[in-house]
Copies of this chain bind each other. A is one copy, B any other.
Amino acid sequence: IAANFFGPQKNTYIRVSLPAVCFVWQIAMVVLFGVFIRYDEESDEKGWNEYKKSHNITSNIENDFYFRYPSFQDVHVMIFVGFGFLMTFLKRYSFGGVGFNFLIAAFGLQWALLMQGWFHALDPVTGKITIGIESLINADFCCAGSLIAYGALLGKVSPVQLMVVTLFGVTLFAVEEYIILDLLHCRDAGGSMVIHTFGGYYGLAISWVLYRPNLNLSKRLNGSVYHSDLFAMIGALFLWMFWPSFNSAITNHGAGQHRTVINTYLALASCVLTTFAISSMGQKKGKLDMVHIQNATLAAGVAMGTAAEFMITPYGSIIVGFCCGIISTFGYLYVTPFLEKKLKLQDTCGIHNLHAVPGMLGGFVGAIVAATATEEIYGKEGLIETFGLTGKYVNRTMSTQGGYQAAGTCVAIAFGLVGGVCVGFILRFPIWGDPADDFCFDDEAYWELPEDEETIPPVLEYNNHMINKHHDTHESQFSLEES
């Protein structure tokens, strides 16, 4: 009868499909890495010694490793603890939140090294991709797109579906990144466009196709408890604190990285205050909502992804943060419920407000700041370095650059929406082990769960038990039977 009401009965049995996907794809990675991936000249033992000689470098500190490794580790923390724990907020889907995030990021970064390598680092002579620390950062970035999409799907899909989301997500990412960064020659070091806009709309489009009309059958589990909100706060804070590293990780050495950190730091701080303000205003009793504090405070980092490396000025950064806190919190208060009711768009984590809209805004902010860049502010050399105006781009004017930046944002939106719809239809095949509408947001579907907390004997009773037993074992056993 249930099947009649709610469509064909779903089955969350993944004992065949998940191991199969993991094994086959991981073996494919081994083969493809064997054929294509090699160390670059700064990580190869022989290569680095030759590089030092040919470039007349005397100190190992000039290795790109020392410019980027601290940022890389911060980005790595954001991907695994940041995104992972931000998604532990549901009362009974914390294992799935942090666990599946772990799985798909671990797969995604390997696939990203290949996909990004083919598009950006394939040596035409040797046919090999060479990787170094910057490749690892880019691979982590590339995963982020799919992890953002996971935010919209949280609790409603199986891990096998998530692997599919990641496989296509990384592939689409590499293509749109190639178009935006190489063909349009945009700058987007922190990925407002290529990561957040793309990832946000990709996830929203998938979720739209996978709309579940009876999702309210799982309503009782679609919420947090006190301690799950604190776990999510760990993720939120690590994202917030390390976002300056995220945006600066692959910017230019020297003043480039330095300035990007300052701009992101200021925008994020400003965003916190307006988030608290709107969160309090949005509720009759003026109470704050943890969902806003965990998410909307991060919107400024997203929106500074493109412009943070430009000379946006410190107060420009603060203004961007100011607006983002307002827009994002409004989104959580009014837009997400509206989208669910009117557009049939179920967005578990509200990525529309944290990634899609702030990312798009960030793309346009970047376009404006680029269009208004002058030699007076950057210096001649600085303008060329910051926007990479060498080779065939040597004559591009700044207003043209701004136009291309805006165009890049549109490319990211288009890739996200079209790609997401296609992937969404693939995910509707009834073979992926996703849960029924009344079994969403529940770790019970895919995880061996420990017994419940109440099985711990309370301390006092236990102590009495101990005392009794030492006096008279039999009596205490009787009392246990009685209770």
Q: Are A262 and B110 in contact, with the CB atoms below 8 A?
A: no
Bound complex: CA of A240 vs CA of B102, how far in Å? 10
Q: Are A276 and B22 in contact, with the CB atoms below 8 A?
A: yes
Q: Which listed segment binds B: A69-77, A182-190, A350-358?
A: A69-77
Q: Are B269 and A44 in contact, with the CB atoms below 8 A?
A: no
Q: Are A132 and B262 in contact, with the CB atoms below 8 A?
A: yes
Q: How many copies does the complex hold?
A: 3
A314 is an interface residue with CB less than 8 A from chain B: yes
Residues of chain A at interface, number, CB under 8 A = 162
Q: Are B76 and A241 in contact, with the CB atoms below 8 A?
A: yes
Bound complex: CA of A381 vs CA of B416, how far in Å? 49
Q: Are A22 and B273 in contact, with the CB atoms below 8 A?
A: yes
Q: Which 8 pairs between the two chains have the least Cβ-Cβ distance?
A: A15-B286, A60-B254, A48-B255, A106-B272, A46-B379, A45-B382, A22-B277, A60-B253
Residues from chain B with a CB closer than 8 A to the CB of A293 are 99, 102
Of all chain B residues, the one with the shortest Cβ separation from A382 is: B45
Q: Are A290 and B447 in contact, with the CB atoms below 8 A?
A: yes
Q: Are B226 and A288 in contact, with the CB atoms below 8 A?
A: no
Of all chain B residues, the one with the shortest Cβ separation from A29 is: B318
Distance in Å: Cβ of A80 to nearest Cβ of chain B: 5
* A255-302 interface (Cβ within 8 A of B): 255-259, 261-262, 265-266, 268-270, 272-274, 276-278, 280-281, 283-290, 293, 297
Q: List 29 A-B contacts (CB under 8 A).
A: A1-B470, A9-B470, A18-B286, A22-B276, A23-B274, A26-B277, A29-B270, A30-B270, A33-B318, A44-B255, A46-B379, A61-B62, A65-B254, A70-B73, A73-B244, A80-B241, A81-B241, A84-B237, A98-B237, A102-B297, A103-B276, A110-B266, A136-B262, A223-B450, A228-B450, A234-B234, A287-B447, A289-B447, A453-B453
